[in-house]
């Protein structure tokens, strides 16, 4: 990494990375001040597709806002569904049947794998490799077919309801998921042989884009970004919810803090999600999938409620302020990508543009989640 001089050179110039650049994975503009190919200053510019989700939450009933959740982080939509329904259920005092809780966890973890697979393929594409994308999407398509049968959607899921899930699984779901888990376990070694241990990738990622644990805490970064810097924080373990306390799984943590560490965290998380899914299938009980006394029209009592869940990119938090009516008085959504992107400006200083692309991709950003 180049040491930047304090006095600004006359040779510096401004380059806009995005908002149409393919490596930004959305409508993100990064204003770069460059000295040659070295970054002097990087300023992310947000708001190109701002859609006022939080304001919509104040103008819709609790149920009407549900489809919005899948349109923030559209790659981890079920985790956003989960966070919102958990917050409302906490406010309204709704008890969820055990079968519904396990179905939620199973489908959320399937969605986490699909998100990580898309990131894996797109990240390698950013770095100049095309073949891994084809393998990743081959596996992801099988997974989406499974989720489609139970949720009725392939991307912007809206499967959860206050008090459970909107319909039960059919007789083909469990065998299909078991088959996918077995297949995915045979595919991961191939991914590591083809990509993880590839010397070209190692040279592109090892030591590139170091993010310290102090920087993670400074910007409030969570998820694989934090765990790749040695910060062992996972909402499923640190602030347990649903049936996650009953599941045995590990939280992958790497202390290197570089782009390769963040890559390894996500690859390890695929294996941990497979473990969670398998345990969920083994423990899936019979019974209803909706609370029998769940009210049709929700009017939670006055109060201030908060619920966090572990989405694919980190901690997604829902702060719900209820005034006793059928619409939220205030709905504040804490998205992980916003905090994770915030550290990019500091971390990218002194880097080559090509290395900054590797850093940006390792953050796994979904821009519509930021511009919510």
Domain residues for 130?
13-370
Q: Tell me the pairing of strands 303-311 and 164-165.
A: unpaired
The one-digit pLDDT tens for each residue of the chain (372 residues) are 555 444 455 689 999 988 888 888 778 999 999 999 999 999 999 888 888 999 999 999 999 999 999 999 999 999 999 999 999 999 999 999 999 999 999 999 999 999 999 999 999 999 999 999 999 999 999 999 999 999 999 999 999 999 999 999 999 999 999 999 999 999 999 999 999 999 999 999 999 999 999 999 999 999 999 999 999 999 999 999 999 999 999 999 999 999 999 999 999 999 999 999 999 999 999 999 999 988 888 999 999 999 999 999 999 999 999 999 999 999 999 999 999 999 999 999 999 999 999 999 999 999 889 888
pTM for this predicted structure: 0.95
Describe the strand order of the beta sheet including 38-45 as a list of residue ranges.
Answer: 13-17, 29-35, 38-45
145 lies in some domain = yes
Torsion, Cα of 196, 199, 203, 204 (10° steps): -50
Return all residues near 352 (Cβ < 8 A) that are at least 6 apart: 2, 37, 38, 39
1 lies in some domain = no
296 lies in some domain = yes
Domains: count for the chain: 1
66, 84 Cβ separation under 8 angstroms: yes
Residue 358 to residue 88: CA distance in whole angstroms? 38
Torsion, Cα of 252, 253, 254, 255 (10° steps): -170
**Residue in 59, 56, 81 with CA at minimum distance from that of residue 70:** 81
6 lies in some domain = no
3 lies in some domain = no
Q: Please return the burial class of 125, using the count of CB atoms within 10 Å of its CB with bins 0-12, 13-18 and 19+.
A: middle
**Residue in 79, 82, 63 with CA at minimum distance from that of residue 113:** 79
Supply the CATH number for residue 21's domain: 1.10.645.10
**Residue in 125, 105, 123, 337 with CA at minimum distance from that of residue 226:** 337
7 lies in some domain = no
5 lies in some domain = no
Residue 348 to residue 352: CA distance in whole angstroms? 8
**Residue in 338, 329, 333 with CA at minimum distance from that of residue 317:** 333
First to last CA, the chain: 34
2 lies in some domain = no
């Amino acid at each position: 990494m180049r040491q930047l001089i304090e006095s600004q050179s006359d040779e510096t110039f401004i380059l806009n990375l995005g908002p149409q650049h393919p490596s930004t994975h959305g409508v993100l503009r990064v204003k770069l001040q460059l000295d040659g190919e070295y970054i002097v200053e990087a300023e992310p510019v947000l708001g190109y597709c701002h859609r006022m989700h939080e304001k919509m939450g104040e103008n819709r009933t609790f149920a009407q806002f549900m489809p919005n959740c899948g349109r923030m982080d559209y790659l981890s939509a079920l985790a956003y569904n989960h966070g919102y329904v958990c917050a409302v259920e906490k406010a309204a005092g709704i008890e969820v049947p055990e079968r519904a809780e396990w179905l939620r966890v199973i489908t959320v973890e399937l969605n986490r794998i699909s998100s990580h697979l898309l990131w894996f393929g797109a990240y390698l594409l950013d770095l100049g490799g095309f073949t891994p994308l084809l393998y990743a999407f081959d596996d992801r398509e099988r997974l989406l077919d499974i989720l489609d049968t139970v949720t009725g959607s392939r991307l912007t899921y809206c499967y959860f309801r206050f008090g459970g899930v909107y319909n039960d699984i059919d007789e083909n779901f469990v065998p299909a998921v078991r088959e996918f888990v077995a297949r995915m376990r045979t595919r991961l070694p191939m991914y590591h042989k083809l990509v993880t241990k590839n010397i070209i990738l190692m040279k592109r990622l090892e030591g590139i884009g170091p993010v310290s644990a102090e920087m993670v805490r400074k910007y409030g970064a969570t998820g694989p970004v934090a765990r790749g810097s040695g910060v062992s924080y996972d909402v499923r373990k640190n602030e347990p919810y649903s049936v996650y306390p009953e599941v045995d799984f590990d939280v992958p943590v790497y202390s290197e803090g570089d782009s390769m560490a963040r890559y390894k965290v996500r690859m390890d998380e695929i294996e941990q999600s497979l473990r969670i899914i398998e345990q969920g299938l083994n423990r899936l009980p019979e019974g209803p999938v909706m609370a029998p006394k769940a009210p049709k029209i929700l009017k939670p009592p006055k109060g201030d409620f908060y619920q966090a869940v572990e989405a694919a990119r980190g901690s997604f938090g829902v702060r719900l302020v209820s005034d006793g009516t059928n619409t939220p008085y205030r709905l504040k959504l804490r998205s992980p990508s916003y905090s994770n992107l915030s550290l990019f400006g500091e971390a990218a200083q002194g880097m080559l543009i090509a290395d900054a692309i590797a850093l940006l991709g390792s953050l796994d950003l979904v821009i519509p989640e930021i511009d919510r």
